[in-house]
Chains A and B, each alone.
Chain A
Amino acid sequence: MIKGSVKQDARENRAAKFLVSGPPLLFLVVFFVAPSLIMVLTSFRFPGEFGGLAPIAAPAGASPGEYGLTAEAYQFFFGDILYARIFLKSFGVAATTTLICLIMAYPLALLIARSKKSFRNLMVLLVVLPFASNFLIRIYAWMIILGPESGLSYFINTVLGAFGIGPVALLFSPFAVLVGMVYVHLPFMVLPLYTNLEKHDSSLLDAAQDLGATRWQRFWRVTWPLSLPGVFSGSALVFIPVLGMFAVPDILGGTGDILIGNLIKDQFLGTRDWPFGSALSIMLTLAVLSIAGMATWFARSTIRQRAES
């Protein structure tokens, strides 16, 4: 009797789980798995003469060899060190952006989380406020801020000039790309950090203080380890979108600022080479997934280590 109801409970529990996880699962299937499969197929086909794809089956009277499936796009990708270099460069930019965002966002998130409750919502609102205006307009605004005639340029070059360093151009440079990337993605780092830091129990810090911990020790031994989940999710929210970003390097970048996002966009527009664009996207997805996998593994093992010690 009792056994049966436990079994029934477990079954109901499972049904409830499915009902809760069903819609997101469906979303993933429809908007991630299915498009990814289409992309995999696309990457093994021949590009159409006018964009799009060559038909899989050769129409009557057409020259052979241009139809069906091919690994040509991947041969092209692995046949040249060029593409590995552009991947490496993009990952470098993404990692740098993430690090800068983290360094800038952490104090801010901490400040918001530790301030009075009535201020918190206002401050969070201020962090989110830039989203109210269009992303491109905000990037164009940076063109004016960083432009050679701007006050900022004038100030920086006056300071540098005092040290005998020649005038530098801020706009159209890797620096401008980094500024744009950090600016756009900063809120994505602040918000997860804030939601994490806000939940911390302040009595832990009091206890640490009572036990003689210095300010730094309290941060490094208590707050920081507890905030790691926020750090990881914030980093993922910044790192991954930066990899796909093409508008910022397009608008703010100089003559050498091409990233993987630009290259992929180019394959679908200028070059009209969908298979190669798909192959590039798939390689990017694989790279991101493997990095995410490594990060999860790393996060788990550090948390386990800390728990053990």
Chain B
Amino acid sequence: MAVDLAELKGMIEAALPGASVEVFDEDGGGQHLRAVVAAAQFEGLSRIDQHRLVKAAVKTRFDDGTIHALSVKTSVTG
């Protein structure tokens, strides 16, 4: 199944309303994806918890094997 970057971006945005989200396909083959997420909801959370929120948002795409590796870069806004 092809990786749908727009879908992944939408899933993260839905989980973190108001967040600024960019999803990149780093190698062009969908194997190494990178999400850059800035959200006010990250305030007060450890990095690991910030990443947990992002990964949880796209969990179904990990579970169904569409994506294998997602690098995450988070920052707090607001």
- Asked if A and B are interacting partners, one says no
